[in-house]
Amino acid sequence: MSTPETHGIRIGHDEREAAVRELGEHFSEGRLEPQEYEERMSAAYAARTTDDLAPLFADLPRAQDAATALVAQAPATQWPVAPMAAGPDAAWGLDPVTGRPYSDRSKVAAGLLQLFLPFFGAGRLYSGHTAIGVMQLLLAPLGVGMVWAFIDGIVMLTGEPTDRHGRPLRP
């Protein structure tokens, strides 16, 4: 349902996706038949305004009007919406997926240090994981530390490594 503030307001991709997710929840709870779900989902993707979405939920219980929730969150005076400010505890920005602040250490630098200086455990020492770095350094004469550090460098470059405080290394 649209409120007077959101009556006939154009919607975007996020609002359509939210409506489809909500329809999916109703479908999984058995309120919609497969054909009816598909029809409503197609209508949600074709919707252009909040008024186009309202009939799709007229006979369904709703915890919140998904179509107007995102529209109501952003004030009309701040168009386009400014990016989220990082703040003092996130000087290097925020991870867009988790919202956690990035580390001051670089993922690429840590991974390359591990690959090119595996006998020192340099990437782990750089990222603040001194215990792992020292273990790799001590095991290097046996060959185990170098193999471990080399594989660790590949994992650091392809994975989501963290610093000693648990913050993700910045890309």
Q: What is the pLDDT along the chain (171 residues), one digit of tens a residue?
A: 445 455 678 888 888 888 888 888 888 888 888 898 889 888 988 999 988 988 988 888 876 544 444 444 444 444 443 344 555 566 667 777 777 788 888 889 888 888 888 777 888 888 888 888 888 888 888 877 778 888 888 888 888 888 888 888 888
Chain-centroid distance, C-alpha 19 = 20
Tell which of 28, 49, 77 closes a domain: 77
Q: 103 in helix, strand or coil?
A: coil
Write out the residue range of the structural domain in which residue 105 sits: 90-171
Q: Are residues 70 and 95 in the same domain?
A: no
Report the number of distinct structural domains present in the chain. 2
Tell which of 21, 53, 77 closes a domain: 77
- pTM for the model: 0.46
Ramachandran region, residue 160 (left: φ > 0; alpha: ψ -120 to 50; beta: rest): beta
Is the separation of the CB atoms in 92 and 109 below 8 Å? no
Omega within 30 of 0 (cis) for the link into 83: no
Q: Are residues 126 and 158 in the same domain?
A: yes
